[in-house]
Amino acid sequence: NFEKDENHFKHNIVNVSINRDQIYDIAYYDSKDYEKGSNSTLLFDWDRLLNKEKEHFNIKIGQRVFGSNYPYSKITMELENLFPVLNRWFHFRIFGGIVRGNSPQQEAVYLSGSVRPTSFAYWFVDPDTKISTQENLHTKGDANLRGYLGQHLKGKNGVGVNFEIPVPGLSMINLFSDIGNVWDKKFGILKYGFGLGFDLKYIRIDFPFYINKPMKNEKAFAFRWLLELSF
């Protein structure tokens, strides 16, 4: 977790691993986000945390080994920073990602947040319902444009910039703004939105009440909510 204190933990970690994910059935996943198959990958992951700055660099290479169905490569980069503004910690995050080759849907770059739910999220989901972190249950990641929940937008390329600052006198309440896009061949129209979040340390609730590119039957200003678990 990215703690907002003066004695922030420091580390510099490099991880190299070989992984194999096998999805036999997507009965409990949304088919707009996941597909069946075997995915074998070589993963290089670098994570650096120093004072109020957090950097994350990830390379994932899928190979047709161990019965894998997907040859592809994926690179993501993420930078988070905290710096003081009017005696408050201003939170800035920038993300970029590209995917090349024949990758499964779950390895695309998603607009509204990471497609992978945390293990704790399952505790709050009806086992008879298809789980999706592209709906009201949210996992921070990818471009992280929180107001675009429900659209399941993804692409082979993606960028996102996220800003957040606590309301003076009310440290648990944050104003946020998200800017970015995901695309395959053409960038298209830049998307953005803003809203209000309540950070209860282990549970966060966001209300992204404005987005500039709503769905056909959706208004730009509307009541939207997201639940994110961080324990």
Instruction: Give me the amino acid identity at 27.
Output: A
Domain count, the chain: 1
Rounded CA gap, 115 and 169, in Å? Answer: 34
Mean of all residue pLDDT scores within the chain: 86
- Evaluate whether residue 194 is within a structural domain: yes
Tens of pLDDT, residue by residue over 85-126, are 666 678 899 999 999 999 999 999 999 999 988 766 655 665
Single pTM value for the model: 0.89
The residue assigned the tokens 């319902």 is: 129
- Evaluate whether residue 58 is within a structural domain: no
Rounded CA gap, 200 and 93, in Å? Answer: 20
Which tokens sit at 190? 């830049």
- Evaluate whether residue 41 is within a structural domain: no
Neighbours of 127 (CB within 10 A): 8
- Evaluate whether residue 150 is within a structural domain: yes
Q: SS3 for 216? A: coil
- Evaluate whether residue 28 is within a structural domain: yes
Residue 169 class from Cβ within 10 Å (0-12 exposed, 13-18 middle, 19+ buried)?
exposed
- Evaluate whether residue 9 is within a structural domain: no
Confidence of residue 194 (pLDDT cuts 50, 70, 90): very high
Q: Is the pLDDT of residue 14 over 60?
A: yes
Q: Which of 41-55, 89-103, 122-136 has the highest mean pLDDT?
A: 89-103
Q: Which domain holds residue 188?
A: 23-34+65-229
Write a three-state SS string for 29-55.
ECCCCCCCEEEEEEEEEEEEEECCEEE
Rounded CA gap, 41 and 26, in Å? Answer: 20
Tens of pLDDT, residue by residue over 74-94, are 999 999 887 776 666 788 999
Confidence of residue 67 (pLDDT cuts 50, 70, 90): confident
- Evaluate whether residue 143 is within a structural domain: yes
- Evaluate whether residue 47 is within a structural domain: no
Instruction: Summarize the confidence of residues 161-189 as an average pLDDT.
Output: 91
